[in-house]
Structure 1
Amino acid sequence: MKIFDSRSNEKVDLKNKTIKIYTCGPTVYSNIHIGNARPILLTDVLVRFLNYQNIEVDYMMNITDIDDKIINKAIAENKTEFEITEKYIKEFNEDLYSLNIIKPNRMIKISEEIPTIESFIKKLVDSKKAYIKNGSVYFDLKNNLDTYGSISKQKIDQLISDDSLSEKNDPLDFALWKSTEVGLNWETQFCKGRPGWHTECVALVDKYFKKELDVHVGGIDLKFPHHENERIQFFGMYQLELSKIWMHNGSLNVNKEKMSKSLGNIVNLRDFLKSNSTNVLRLLMLKTNYSNPLSITDKDIEDANKWIAKVTNTIKQSIINENLELINETSSDYINEFESFMNDNLNTGQVITLVDKIVKEINSEISNKEFSDLYKQLVKILEVLGIEIKLITISNVEIKLLKKWKNHISEKQFKEADEIRNELTRIGVL
């Protein structure tokens, strides 16, 4: 399998016996929106395909429960930070369930790993990759100019910082530990304070994976500075890359406008799922290559609902024919084609086109009364995509009704056939 790596700008082989994956998780001060769901769904499809290939996956996600946004939310609502974070962690877990996500092996709250982060920062200070000023700890970027910017392709001499903190050696140096008594804070060997965002993820990777990751997933908006700053800390510490592959999904546009708070067009995931199924959201995310910008319009949502209904009905009709003992083995084999698309940088757009092709062939068979078990390949492909089609079960009584209905149709007894069809529709078989 080959995945495009943002750092090398090349497709890189992913072939270890165990694949180590890290995805940047949410900052839990609010519910996630559909843009936040894109890297989560991307990772889920990757994990599903690796599982399909019987490859072991070690997958971790962080939960950022220490942040200025959380402090501000707590103050605004007259609550503790813990009350805010626990509410949104609970609801995030509910969202993962709603999205049909295979949960990570580990989901780790940053607040539970302060000693891990402190130890990691201490190593950077001891190796003179970081320095302490007034209790805060900063990464010394000038010591790593040769490799900084390799993910985002930013040039250090073109970066401008409006940070006026005079205590830093350089305005572009970033905080690993912040001296503060505002909000949640911890007493450490440096000072009382809390960790910097860029250090949280890399410290967890260092502790739980020991060596470099195979895949680090995140949105394109995290390339710089977050992922760049994660990487440079690990490289500064070990002279090794943090991840073999940096996998970034593109931005999200809603009705032809980039989704942003300033435009007021943020689509909350929970609001979206009130009107649409998880399958619809997955289809919208998967129809475009993950690395490309994704545009979602009202028409796209309408078409996705129709597509899901069409595929569901095709599978349902096949199961009915199977229960009527009308199905034979298919001569068509689309699985190799499916695997080829997925192995080529998770090309789900081509897989969706392939699904359309399979559905068309099955419906043509049904029209010609040449029934096959091709639907089983379709179900297998959809399972890997995480598109969950409920497979109907048909009782013996319902099978008898179906046979009567078919017989009435063949004998042109349409009134009787309509009566049975209405009953089959009422009980959900048709």
Structure 2
Amino acid sequence: MFGTSEAPQSNANAVRTGVFAGTRLAFSAALLLLGAAPALQTTAQAALSTERRETRITLDHFDHLFAETKVGGKRVGVLNIYSAAPDYRFAIEPNEGYACVDDVARGMLLLAAAPSVKPLRLHQLDLMARFVLQMQADNGYFYNFIWADGRINREYRTSRAELNWWSLRALWGLEAALQRLPAGGPTADRARRATDRLVANLKRDLAVDRRALVDAEGIAVPNWLPFGSGADAASTALLGLIPHYRRTRDAGTRALIERLGEGLMAMQVGDAATFPYGAHLSWRNQWHGWGNAQAYALLRAGELLGRRDFRASALREIDYFYPYLLEHGMLASFSLRTVKDRTEAVEIQRFPQIAYGISPMVIAAMEAYRQTGRTRYRDTARRLGSWLSGRNEAGRAMYDPATGRVLDGINAPLSANLDSGAESTVEGLLALRALQGTRLP
């Protein structure tokens, strides 16, 4: 059984306890694009502009999932987590709730990533930011779930206010929203205070000044990331810390970005000739596809800090591990162990294949193309995207451009999950934006 930081359900909300906690599986997908959107400066950006081919991106299903409600007496916007085929009605998870910070924050990324934000979308973005802000606890971290009556779920393990996935995604989502919300408005003012407080927590609670490598089944891993060696969660933290540093120019934030990036590099295993071919492990000795944004985070951090080693580490994964997956078939997870100086892969799982596992790779490959201008990275992104348009083991398109639905994944050969929840929809559309040439905030 592979370890995970994200808790059982149909979306990704995580708790790491040091043992397998299960996986919430709402999967995301996106349609393969054969072109990319206009850009301005680099050769790669110019190519994205000249080679663009139109495709339909619709937020119709996103709007179906979106709802206005009240939390703590305040009007807010949320996304319904579950949307079940065939009529795509909503559902509630009995231990958690029906809407969560994790999905609303990723929805904020989607809206903020649009080339232009129209008034309706700005209104939605403002309401969703208000929801996330209402979920911040007195300790500076964030609760995750709400019940149908608007009460905050403060007790269940995937909803507690702590250093966990939903708090880290709240940071990224709020920093993205700050790039679009009116600078002097009340929501933006609250968001700045909330993120500053959260970053202060991360500086205090992450063990970046007590760095060491520890043993996990013979694999040396860092101890200063979230959950000790949670490189997947650390990548989400980095993607929120980077815009926070750009906004504040805080030296402590910069130092935290640098230390977390060094931790991600320490999680890289293998090379061009050795499995897993430069992949960054997710946690301890385990890799899983969902949420593995390490390569993308290292590319962004490397660009910000001028760290060529960060970029080289990211490109190693994109150059060798991604082609391996494309040539040999997608993987859901595997573990590594070293016995008598020999490292071997164990517990290899091919399913479920989810586009939350595909989208981080698509986004990273497109960022590599943006930074280097090398067309092979764009080609890699398109090949990965072809899984989403139907070149997959279910043999069907996972994104429907007529409705904006993204199916929840592939459970087995020729077996797709026809549900279309919030995580699936948003992750699919994020990948779609990236394939068009749009950079995430």
Answer yes or no: same fold by TM over 0.5: no
**Structure whose alpha-carbon radius of gyration is higher:** 1
Place the TM-score, normalised by the shorter chain, in its bin: under 0.3
* TM-score, normalised relative to structure 2: 0.24
* Larger helix share, 1 or 2: 1
